[in-house]
Amino acid sequence: MTPGIYRHSVINCVFAAALLAGLLAGRPASALMIPLTTTTLVDRASCIVEGCVTNVSSRWTDDRAAIVTEVTVEVTDLLLGDTNRVTFLYKGGVVGEVAQRVSDMPGLTNGQHVLVFLRALTPEEAGRDRAVAGRKARHTLVGAAQGLYRIEAGRAIKDGFKILGDATVIDYDVDPAAIKARIRARLGASGRDRGVR
């Protein structure tokens, strides 16, 4: 390769790398999620409840590598499960002056009215954190923010995530009674409605 061609190739590579770095630096990183239908959320859930958020608290994990947020919901309508209060975790939160935002995880506050699809933490997930390992019936959201509706002004709304694929399969903004009827119908069709109020 002649010196002139070599120098031109190096300049092009440097320019391309600088352009890519500039594009990446100019926008926050965000994961793309595979869309989950309501049927899939129901099928993957071990607990589905509507209720009011009564406690939101964030803390560091044992190794101080990440912040997690613990949310308690007082149940007003139990669709799947056997509890009148449920606690679940999601990644991210605020501890003191340190905030950690995790892509596609919700941000909740006390007093919010929610409908959540939850699954039990795996033993591996629970074992990473002594505060979790010592407690029973701990949960996390099915599909991160896809597993949470905020109930506001008579609507069930989900947001805060980006989809890779057909977003039309997601019920983003629906009537709460209609989505709960669909959930109950799916539970009944799969034989999981026994004992559900």
Return the pLDDT at 179: 96
In a shared domain, residues 111 and 168: yes
In a shared domain, residues 11 and 42: no
In a shared domain, residues 1 and 85: no
Angle at 34 (CA atoms; ends 42, 124), nearest 5 degrees: 70
**Is 196 inside a domain boundary?**
no
Q: Domain containing 44: what range? A: 32-189
In a shared domain, residues 17 and 48: no
Return the pLDDT at 164: 79
Whether 80 has a pLDDT exceeding 90, the answer reads: yes
In a shared domain, residues 21 and 117: no
Pairing of strands 67-80, 47-60: antiparallel
In a shared domain, residues 26 and 36: no
Whether 24 has a pLDDT exceeding 50, the answer reads: no
**35 CB-contact burial (10 Å; exposed 0-12 / middle 13-18 / buried 19+):** middle
In a shared domain, residues 18 and 101: no
Choose the weakest-confidence range: 20-29, 91-100, 111-120. 20-29
In a shared domain, residues 23 and 112: no
In a shared domain, residues 25 and 43: no
pTM: 0.77
Domain count, the chain: 2
pLDDT band at 31 (very low <50, low <70, confident <90, very high): low
In a shared domain, residues 83 and 102: yes
